[in-house]
Amino acid sequence: MLVDQQARPPFVAEYGLSLLLETEEWRGVFDAGQSPQTLRRNSELVGIGNKSLDFAVISHEHMDHVGGLSALKQLLKDDAPVYMPAGVNWRLLKSAEDLGLNVKRLMTGTRAAKAAFITSQQYGPPYEQSLIINLDGNRAVSLLGCSHPGPSRMVSKVLYDLSLTPYAVVGGLHLAWATPDKVRLEAEALKMLGVKVIVPLHCSGDPVKLESSRLGMKVLQASVGDKVVLPLDL
Ligand SMILES: [Zn+2]
Ligand SMILES: [Zn+2]
């Protein structure tokens, strides 16, 4: 985790989301947090060097996910793509292009790297896309920014677009302010889709953690500075 509200010292906490993703073949980043200072500082602490990331995926246009974009320029390799949903507002597009980022607006699902698939955008509002990492040809991880279109609706793409099981869900579930009924329905839907592990961050809220545990899903608490290795060795 690079940016979130919970951080282990000396990492900096901030309301926003940014996740570093690492496989044997590539390194990428999902969202850019609220401020370039926090993204830069936490990236240094994790040891990400300049020009070391292969791609960035931006889930949606809200400031707590794009505010740190200017810090990405140094971290990304030359001309590395920055994927945004086609529906993002023109001001964000222009400011990203003015920073010299190689922005790619996505209308449909696209492969970002080996075993990394960006979903087509769904409408919340705003337009939001998620990233799916294929772990082993059967199980996948669904990475969510804020889940404005609804977490289960976003995670269902793993099953319906890629025919994979959404083994793990990591990121913002946007249920912190939801009614108890809504939280229960979303948790039950995730369970029905086959989710085994949830790493609730950012705007997820505590009720979904309790509800997911009650339904038998494994809930992992993670802070900035923590590393989660998937699949879990259960
Ligand atoms: Zn957010
Ligand atoms: Zn948002």
- Counting Cα atoms < 13 Å in the Cβ hemisphere of 144 gives 32
86, 60 in Cβ contact below 8 A? no
Q: What is the pLDDT of residue 134?
A: 97
The Cα 127–Cα 86 span in angstroms is: 8
Q: With a threshold of 0.95, does the pTM exceed it? A: yes
Q: How far is the CA of 128 from the centre of ligand 2 (A)?
A: 9
Q: Which residues are found with C-beta within 5 Å of the ion, ligand 2?
A: 62, 146
Q: Is the pLDDT of residue 16 over 90?
A: yes
pLDDT beyond 80 at 234? no
- What single DSSP character describes residue 163? -
Instruction: Convert the pLDDT of each residue in 24-80 to its tens digit.
Output: 999 999 999 999 999 999 999 999 999 999 999 999 999 999 999 999 999 999 999
Nearest Cα neighbor of 131 from 7, 20, 2, 11 is 20
Confidence of residue 233 (pLDDT cuts 50, 70, 90): confident
Q: What is the mean pLDDT of residues 19-26?
A: 97
What separation in Å is there between the alpha carbon of 171 and the centre of ligand 1? 9
Domains and CATH numbers, the chain: 19-219 (3.60.15.10)
Q: At 231, is the pLDDT very low, low, confident or very high (cuts 50, 70, 90)?
A: very high
Calculate how far, in angstroms, residue 205's C-alpha sits from the geometric centre of ligand 1. Answer: 12
Alpha helices in 21-109 (DSSP H): 36-46, 63-66, 69-75, 90-98
* Residue that has been written with the tokens 């009614």 in this structure: 179
